[in-house]
């Protein structure tokens, strides 16, 4: 079983779309795919969360949501305010290892060091427990180089592998920063650019998501994109 940890340079950078795109490619290759969301925040009971979006975009994948908290806050804060039991890193590791799949994708909340609980555990602890590589989903525009570099530094300090970066929502008409960041992200992270997905895929059909994944994600993630084929 292969495991990928997906984190972001922040919120609303396209993590869920990237997870769905990777899952769609794996499904098309005949693999059994599972997606784990350790903590879903900002979604009420009964409402669709990120995992519902993955299924809508990628098709029939197994999903596991370990905890849900209604307020749109970091999981540790949201759990505390709800008077609920927070998620522990060991709990996530155990849930992943119990799955029967060829590929398991773990999607974090926000960035790498967002706290899961008041012990200070984060998605980095989950990655360490699973010995799994991390894929960083980055925003396209100004300011992303600093947060991407800090994430890469935090992973390196913990001895964790950064597989590379994916730009999760690249605009149709990029500005100067968005164009130059495609070359600068590998330089500041020390890891390759693994793909560039177009903005707007969150509202696309599964067929369109699969097509975009094949064109926009590199071989490590199951697609045919290469850095020479920048948008």
Contact 59, 94 (CB under 8 A): no
Q: How far apart are CA 111 and CA 95, in angstroms?
A: 21
Q: How far apart are CA 15 and CA 35, in angstroms?
A: 12
Residues 6 or more apart from 67 whose CB is under 8 A from it? 38, 39, 40, 75, 79, 84, 85, 86, 87
Could you identify the residue written with the tokens 């696309």?
A: 204
Six-digit token string for 41:
């925040």
The DSSP letter of residue 158 is: T
The C-alpha atoms of residue 222 and residue 124 are separated, in whole angstroms, by 24
Q: Which residues are catalytic?
A: 37
CA 137 to chain centre: 6
The Cα–Cα gap between 154 and 135 comes to 13
> How far apart are the C-alpha atoms of 163 and 47, rounded to whole Å?
33
With contact defined as beta carbons under 8 Å apart, do 219 and 31 qualify? no
């Amino acid at each position: 079983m292969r495991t990928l940890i997906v984190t972001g340079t922040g919120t609303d950078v396209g993590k869920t779309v990237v997870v769905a795109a990777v899952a769609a490619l794996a499904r098309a290759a005949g693999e059994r795919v599972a997606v784990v969301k350790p903590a879903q925040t900002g979604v009420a009971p009964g409402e669709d969360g990120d995992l519902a979006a993955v299924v809508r975009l990628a098709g029939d994948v197994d999903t596991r949501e370990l905890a849900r908290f209604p307020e749109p806050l970091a999981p540790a804060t949201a759990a505390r305010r709800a008077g609920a039991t927070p998620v522990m890193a060991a709990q996530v590791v155990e849930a992943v290892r119990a799955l029967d799949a060829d590929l398991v994708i773990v999607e974090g909340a926000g960035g790498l060091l967002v706290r899961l609980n008041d012990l200070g555990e984060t998605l980095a602890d989950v990655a360490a427990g699973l010995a799994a590589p991390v894929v960083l989903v980055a925003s396209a525009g100004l300011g992303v180089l600093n947060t991407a570099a800090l994430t890469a530094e935090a992973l390196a300090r913990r001895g964790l592998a950064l597989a590379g970066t994916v730009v999760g929502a690249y605009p149709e008409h990029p500005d100067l920063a968005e164009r130059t960041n495609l070359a600068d992200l590998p330089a500041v992270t020390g890891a390759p650019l693994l793909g560039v997905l177009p903005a707007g895929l969150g509202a696309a059909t599964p067929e369109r998501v699969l097509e975009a994944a094949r064109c926009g994600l590199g071989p490590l993630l199951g697609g045919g994109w290469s850095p020479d084929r920048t948008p």
